[in-house]
A and B are shown apart, each in its own frame.
Chain A
Amino acid sequence: MATEVIGGVEVHVDDEGFMTDPSEWTEELAPALAKEIGIDDLTDAHWKVIRFLRDDFAQEGQTATLRRVSTMANVPTKELYQLFPKKPAKKMSYISGLQKPVGCV
């Protein structure tokens, strides 16, 4: 399994660069992950999504889809696209140290 050094920490990643071990992720790692994909500043709005994804993953064992984030965390779809432009599902998962969502909706 490949590893990569992000924010000075060595973590396991898959072929696409997503972290494969959620337990290696810490909140300190998120800003460094965000910078890797061009998001330079994590706002409270970003954190609301990231923390929801982490909590939801801890309970459900899989990454929430955009629809799940918008309905369960009350973050409107439009806002998700503003926070994580172009590819919100993948970007929010990446920053949260999770695999991309497997669900279709």
Chain B
Amino acid sequence: MPPKFDDEGTDRKLCIIVSKGTMEWATASMVLGNAATSEGIELHVFFTFWGFDAIIDKRMDKLKVSPVANPSMKIPGTEVGMANMLAALPGMTAFASSMMNKEMDKLQVPPHREFMQMVHDSGAKFWACRLTFDMMENTMGLTKDDLWEGVEDIISANDFMELSEGAQIIFI
């Protein structure tokens, strides 16, 4: 029997809520998103709060991973975590981020913007949170033009509830 590629299993629908804008979680969102679309699963990605860094155009190429208060991040090649006093030194976040970028690149994980484009091209829809947008509009003058072009629209929590009807939801 050949594989059943277009059976009812492909009627699945998935929503990923991205609430963090750090490199590792933005990447995790796109890895899962990319896997979903390539399995024929309808995908919506909803960006909220700190997740906005992943869709603010001028920020999305500069996502960072921080060693501060992150006991899971070990000094490479050791089982030793980085003391917060050290991790907080100037340049440490940039250093950790550049290290992680290199490691991701080795594994052929694309840079964030390219990854977003790839998932978008595979049919996913990206949405921005209304409350977060309004807050950032007040605090930093954010406009819709500041968001990455692939973002479909700015929607409310209620809109999201309608959108996610019948979907499985992953909160990141």
Contacts and interface: CB of A to CB of B under 8 A. Distances in A.
Given A67-B108, A86-B40, A91-B5, A104 B121 contact: no
Contacts of A67: 34, 108, 110, 118
Contacts of B39: 87, 90
Nearest to A78: B121
Contact of B3 (A78, A88, A94): A94
B10 A86 contact: yes
Contacts of B108: 65, 67-68, 103, 105
Interface in B1-29: 1-3, 5-6, 10
B35 interface: yes
Interface residues of A, number: 28
Contacts of A77: 117-118, 121-122
A36 interface: yes
A78 B117 CA distance: 10
A86 B5 contact: yes
A87 B5 contact: yes
Given A94-B2, A105-B108, A105-B109, A70 B38 contact: no
Contact of A37 (B5, B31, B110): B5
11 contacts: A17-B1, A37-B3, A68-B108, A86-B6, A87-B39, A89-B38, A90-B3, A103-B108, A104-B31, A105-B34, A105-B109
Interface of A: 4, 16-18, 33, 36-38, 65-68, 70, 76-78, 81, 85-91, 94, 103-105
